[in-house]
């Protein structure tokens, strides 16, 4: 399947230029232009993103993917060819073929022919749910143990987290650009390693090393000084360098960034990211294997270089994780700015006025259906950094529930506080809050035997 293993001295440079759909386009553009690179990976998908994309596809059948990816390809297509950089992105969302078509159109507009673009699919099982449930799959919620029947009628998306081997297969077939739907975040990085080094499915320690590497860079600049506790130590955040994995065949690797860029790569900055979204550190489960995050060592390897070695792994489980979303009611939120002396007291009074006026009109919201936040008084770190002397408070109020009419009734009572509440109320320019859909998250497991990943390669 993969190319024959080459010398142990061979190094492959794999960067990640996108931590989420909405990350700066300058990250990947600069990665391509500011230094050497073999692979550019781009991670666009979060759990709720799939549901958003499904809605977009329902409204417009040609949508349902990360359009930012197409914009990026339009900016760097010539450089990718000139510098021989391959791209792997989960930008396909719930419509990878439409994403592929858009990319091919961009390549054609630039006169770039003979470029192979691969699509990895098979993750979207929304249309198969009833068939799978008829075969006995219960899709029990991994957090609550409830069967999917409880929300089946409101499920809006269902996607399996595919692994890295289909990506490697696409690269084996000569793809320069690989577009996937839902897969694991580390899989974007493991795929090129499997392809380049000829790793087998039973190379558990190496697959685990690729998993650790992928986890470190999956959030983009979050491992090179972004969102870092000691933020004053981070140089030139405006020009922060996005991360690069310098990988070798034995599974060890170095985390680094392009020379001359901002940010920093240190043992503490990498450790910060390693702790991100971590369950059992001794058993980090992916479709390709189980990585032991307690097994390896981090060592300073020079300026902006951290070496990772000694990663241990175990065989994969027999199931895929499935990420599903479903309609879970309605919500409405709005905010006002309360200014001047005694701002917090006035904000508290404003909230009481809103709830009382709604009660006067026959609308009661339970404690579980409503929320009030006094931003500026320490709400983000309640109990740690609270204060009551602020001269400006952002009053944020919201309601949620299954009755859309009841949720919509909340909005019209917020803005009247500007003239019928205490003094100093301002900052309302967003219109009345209106009911918007709540997307619930339903994690489940599915036997791998019931999923068939597919790889198709096209040419510009």
Which positions ≥6 away from 70 have C-beta within 8 Å? 91, 99, 102, 103, 106
pLDDT at 130: 96
Across 221-229, average pLDDT: 95
- Structure confidence at residue 5 as a pLDDT band (50, 70, 90): very low
- Structure confidence at residue 46 as a pLDDT band (50, 70, 90): confident
pLDDT digits (tens, 9 = 90+) for 326-353: 999 999 999 999 999 999 999 999 999 9
Q: H/E/C letters for each residue in 347-378?
A: HHHHHHHHHHHHHHCCCCCCHHHEEEEEECCC
pTM, two decimal places: 0.91
Residue 2 has pLDDT above 60, yes or no: no
Across 52-71, average pLDDT: 89
pLDDT digits (tens, 9 = 90+) for 81-102: 999 999 999 999 999 999 999 9
Q: Are 392 and 401 in contact (CB under 8 A)?
A: no
- Structure confidence at residue 381 as a pLDDT band (50, 70, 90): confident
**Domain locations in the chain?**
12-123+161-317, 324-441
pLDDT at 322: 96
Q: Six-digit token pair at 8?
A: 């142990």
- Structure confidence at residue 354 as a pLDDT band (50, 70, 90): very high
324-441 placed in CATH 2.40.50: no
The percent of residues above 70 in pLDDT, for the chain, comes to 98
pLDDT at 277: 86
Question: Which residue, among 70, 82, 68, 67, has the nearest Cα to 109 in the 3D structure?
Answer: 70
Give the residue, 22 or 407, on which the prediction is more confident: 407
pLDDT digits (tens, 9 = 90+) for 274-311: 998 888 999 999 999 999 999 999 999 999 999 999 99
């Amino acid at each position: 399947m993969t190319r024959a293993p080459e010398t142990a001295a061979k190094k492959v440079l794999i960067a990640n230029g996108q931590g989420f759909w909405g990350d700066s386009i300058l990250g990947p553009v600069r990665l391509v232009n500011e230094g050497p690179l073999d692979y550019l990976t781009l991670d666009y998908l979060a759990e709720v993103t799939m549901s958003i994309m499904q809605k977009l596809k329902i409204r417009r059948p040609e949508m349902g993917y990360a359009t930012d990816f197409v914009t990026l390809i339009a900016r760097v297509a010539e450089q990718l060819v000139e510098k021989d950089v391959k791209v792997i992105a989960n930008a396909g969302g719930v419509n990878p073929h439409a994403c592929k078509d858009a990319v091919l159109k961009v390549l054609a507009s630039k006169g770039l022919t003979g470029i192979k673009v691969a699509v990895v699919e098979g993750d979207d099982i929304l249309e198969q749910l009833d068939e799978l449930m008829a075969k006995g799959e219960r899709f029990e919620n991994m957090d609550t143990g409830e069967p999917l029947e409880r929300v089946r009628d409101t499920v809006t998306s269902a996607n399996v987290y595919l692994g890295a081997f289909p990506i490697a297969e696409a690269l084996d077939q000569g793809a320069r650009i690989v577009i996937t739907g839902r897969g694991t975040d580390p899989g974007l990085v493991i795929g090129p390693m499997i392809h380049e080094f000829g790793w087998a499915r039973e190379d558990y320690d190496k697959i685990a090393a690729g998993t650790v590497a992928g986890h470190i860079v999956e959030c983009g600049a979050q491992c090179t000084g972004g969102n870092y506790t000691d933020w004053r130590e981070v140089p030139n955040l405006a020009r922060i360098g996005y991360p690069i994995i310098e990988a070798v065949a034995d599974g060890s690797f170095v985390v680094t960034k392009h020379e001359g860029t901002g940010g920093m790569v240190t043992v503490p900055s990498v450790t910060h990211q390693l702790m991100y979204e971590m369950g059992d550190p001794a058993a980090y489960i992916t479709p390709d294997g189980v990585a032991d995050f307690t097994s390896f060592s981090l060592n300073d390897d020079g300026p902006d270089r951290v070496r990772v070695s000694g990663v241990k792994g175990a065989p994969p489980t027999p199931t895929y994780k499935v990420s599903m979303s479903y309609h879970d009611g309605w919500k409405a939120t709005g905010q006002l700015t309360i200014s001047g002396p005694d701002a917090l007291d006035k904000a508290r009074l404003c909230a009481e006025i809103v709830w009382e006026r709604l009660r006067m009109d026959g609308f009661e919201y339970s404690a579980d259906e409503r929320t009030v936040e006094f931003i500026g008084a320490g709400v983000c770190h309640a109990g740690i950094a609270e204060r009551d002397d602020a001269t400006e408070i952002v009053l944020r109020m919201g309601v949620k529930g299954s009755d859309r009419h009841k949720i919509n009734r909340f909005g019209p009572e917020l803005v009247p506080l500007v003239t019928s509440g205490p003094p100093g109320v301002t900052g309302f320019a967003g219109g009345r809050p209106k009911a918007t859909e709540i997307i619930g998250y339903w994690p489940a497991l599915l036997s791998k035997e019931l999923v068939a990943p597919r790889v198709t390669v096209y040419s510009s």
